[in-house]
Structure 1
Amino acid sequence: MIPKDPVMLLSFVNTQLRDFYPDFEALCKDKELDSRKIEEKLRSIDYEYDSKSNQFI
């Protein structure tokens, strides 16, 4: 359902956040995703969630 490649995952998550969700928690809850696994995978390419901009930067 979600991309396995970290760069593709980054694009997918940020697009979802921009277009449909008020925050990362809402995205994970709605799509039944493990937020810790996503954050860990994106941290591996030096991206962290920024709540002010509602995106991984």
Structure 2
Amino acid sequence: MLPQDPAILLSYVNTCMRDEGCSLEEFCQEHDADQEKLEQKLAQLGCCYDPEHRRFG
């Protein structure tokens, strides 16, 4: 289960993608997460996904 707090979720997602070297799509498949909902939740913090660097910022 993914963290519900947006700030903790941001840290968790970025850390996992960095450590696993995966894209957001791969992360969502691996963690059975809805990519659109994840992006919306992190948008609450003003963050969007940067596919070139494979991270939210």
Question: What is the TM-score normalised by the length of structure 1?
Answer: 0.94
- Equivalent residue for 1:14? 14
- Equivalent residue for 2:37? 37
Separation of aligned partners in 2, 1:21 and 1:32: 17
Deviation at 1:21, TM superposition (A): 3.6
Percent identity, aligned pairs only, is 39
Q: Deviations over 1:1-50 (max 9, x none)?
A: 11100000000000010001420000101111001111000001100000
Separation of aligned partners in 2, 1:21 and 1:40: 22
| Alignment RMSD (CA, Å) | 0.8
Alignment gaps of 5+ in structure 2: none
Alignment gaps of 5+ in structure 1: none
Question: What is the TM-score normalised by the length of structure 2?
Answer: 0.94
| Conservation of the 8 A alpha-carbon contact between 1:50 and 1:56 | yes
